[in-house]
Structure 1
């Protein structure tokens, strides 16, 4: 199997040579940062339609983590276009972080469509370095389809733990590597190098649940599922929450 993966990866790399050349010249990242938000705004509509029930289930107990102020303070890491906003409870105070400043205009649109929320601010920063967010300052952190693309998931989770108030919760929904010895796993391995560039750093083969299990949360509720998505490659998912 390893030899077949190598040959097929080589063939795909040859076909995707222009993309690799642009990446070598340092231009591909610039193109992705400019174009990816336009692609994602369409993709998230489809994803939300197919995953709406699971998202409602995931966020159903957000209110349990409201602090003494009586209003939920929520930080969304890798907020993208604001696709999760409609699932948050009324009067929730939302701060967004994303390393791509080109998402801001899409966030503004999402904010206008979700008047039940109190939008705080948009911070341009990577999830692994959220120094603009104070220690123990938020009731909940949300991260969906983000841990697949960050450079250091463990570092991001340490940052999440730092900014959460004691008893606060981290909510996640991520696509992950498929079961080994399955055809889906085989194609994830084959396509991952090209997929990584094409989808702005997204990894098909990341076993994200292991990072969550190793993080220093006091409680972890994690479920594996086969998401009802059109793309087989990203159907393996995990979702749940972890409590500080």
Structure 2
């Protein structure tokens, strides 16, 4: 199967600007998601390479997938300055070349945008070593008025302008359903609670591949 890529000029410009102005709190969440990782890591949806600077030196290699053709060159620039070796591959996870096994998989704000998150998570389990770890930092479905806003946004314009992002997904339920055991999990706010945007709350967690 040929490696699949995307060319979405609006989203690429939007994400490039957004990632260049991340808050200190956002950077702290990225750092927390990557802390104590070891060995060989697969990163799914690298974007502009925002995670690369935060990998600990106990990581021996990062293979980073980025299917957006306008973001992958920026990820390669970030990889050149990273504290650990990073190889950027222009591919979706569904069509990635076989490069496993890995000690860990990192997903940061990407499971919201894949077409079939359950299938992708099962595939990620196949490239992990026994006992391998999934680190996730993802949008999640909210309750109340924001949950209703998420559902409305996901069904209308939000995915069109945000690289197929769907904010009302039960991501942790999908992770467990794909055969992972969640060890630790917590919630964090990316925006103040009063901001009327669907992408406000994220889940940060660690899950092990079931033996």
TM range (shorter): 0.7 to 0.9
The alpha carbon displacement at 1:152 in A equals: 0.5
Distance 1:152 1:140 in 2: 21
Q: 1:190 to 1:96 in 2, by over 3 A?
A: same
Name the structure where helix makes up a greater proportion of residues: 1
Change (3 A) 1:87 1:78: same
CA distance in 2, matches of 1:128, 1:138: 16
Compute the RMSD of aligned alpha carbons: 2.3
Where in structure 2 are the equivalents of 1:114-133 lying within 5 Å?
A: 114=82, 116-119=83-86, 121-130=87-96, 132-133=97-98
Which residue number in structure 2 is paired with residue 200 of structure 1?
163
CA separation in 2, counterparts of 1:118 and 1:188? 37
Describe the SS at the equivalent of 2:70.
Answer: helix
CA contact (8 A) 1:129 1:159 kept: no
| Aligned position for 1:173 | 137
Q: Report what 1:18 is aligned to.
A: none
The answer as to whether partners of 1:93 and 1:118 remain within 8 angstroms in 2 is: yes
- Aligned partner of residue 148 in structure 1, secondary structure: coil
Q: Which has the larger radius of gyration?
A: 1
Taking structure 1 as the reference length, the TM-score comes to 0.74
Helix, strand or coil: the match of 2:43?
strand
Give the structure with the higher percent strand: 2
Cα shift readout 1:48-78 (whole Å, capped 9, x = no counterpart): 533222222222221xxx3xxxxx2111111
Structure-2 change in CA distance of 1:61 and 1:228 (3 Å): farther
Answer whether contact 1:149 1:202 (CA < 8 A) is retained: yes
Aligned residue among 11, 31, 35 for 1:56: 31
Partner of 1:216: 179
In structure 2, list runs of 5 or more residues that go unmatched: 1-5
Give the distance between the partners of 2:171 and 2:182, measured in 1 at CA. Answer: 17
The match for 2:3 is none
- For residues 240 and 191 of structure 1, the distance between their equivalents in structure 2, rounded to whole angstroms, comes to 25
What stretches of structure 1 of length at least 5 have no aligned partner?
A: 1-29, 67-71
Aligned length: 201
Moved more, 164-173 or 49-58: 49-58
3-state SS of 1:101 partner: coil
- Scaled by the length of structure 2, the TM-score of the pair is 0.84
Q: Residues 106 and 60 of structure 1: is their aligned pair in 2 closer, same or farther, counting only changes over 3 Å?
A: same
Alpha-carbon contact 2:159-2:166 (below 8 Å) kept:
yes
* Alpha-carbon shift at residue 126 of structure 1 (Å): 1.8
Partners of 1:55 and 1:220 lie apart in 2 by 18
